């Protein structure tokens, strides 16, 4: 119960959940959260690989820390953009944003 594959499985699940969320959520916030899931899946991967088969156990952890930071920034930017959008079209539903096409 304590093997690499377990972690990989979980991360894969996380990944697909995130992807699914991005693809079917109509709510921008929801999509943002699903993106975070993607990143976390990656994080989990890093930690797992790091734990089981990395020569230098630091790398994965460092990366994970970095990614967390980036994710925070990303969320901030995303939220600000969503906010600006909300000001303009009074909705955070993605279907409101499909005027540009063709």
Helix (H, G, I), strand (E, B) or coil at 58: helix
What is the DSSP secondary-structure string of 5-19? HHHHHHHHHHHHHHH
Considering only 17, 30, 33, 49, the residue that binds other proteins (CB under 8 A) is: 49
Residue 39 near other proteins by CB under 8 A: yes
Name the E strands within 1-102. none
Considering only 10, 22, 27, 61, the residue that binds other proteins (CB under 8 A) is: 22
Residue (9 or 89) nearer to other proteins, CB: 89
Helix (H, G, I), strand (E, B) or coil at 15: helix
Residue 30 near other proteins by CB under 8 A: no
Residue 35 near other proteins by CB under 8 A: yes
């Amino acid at each position: 119960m304590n093997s690499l594959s377990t972690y990989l499985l979980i991360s894969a699940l996380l990944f697909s959940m995130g992807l699914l969320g991005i693809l079917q959520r109509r709510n921008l916030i929801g999509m943002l959260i699903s993106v975070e899931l993607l990143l976390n899946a990656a994080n989990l991967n890093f930690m797992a690989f790091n734990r089981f088969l990395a020569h230098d156990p630091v790398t994965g952890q460092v990366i994970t820390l970095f990614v967390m930071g980036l994710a925070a920034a990303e969320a901030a930017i995303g939220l600000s953009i969503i906010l600006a959008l909300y000001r303009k079209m009074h909705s955070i539903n993605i279907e409101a944003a499909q005027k540009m096409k063709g």
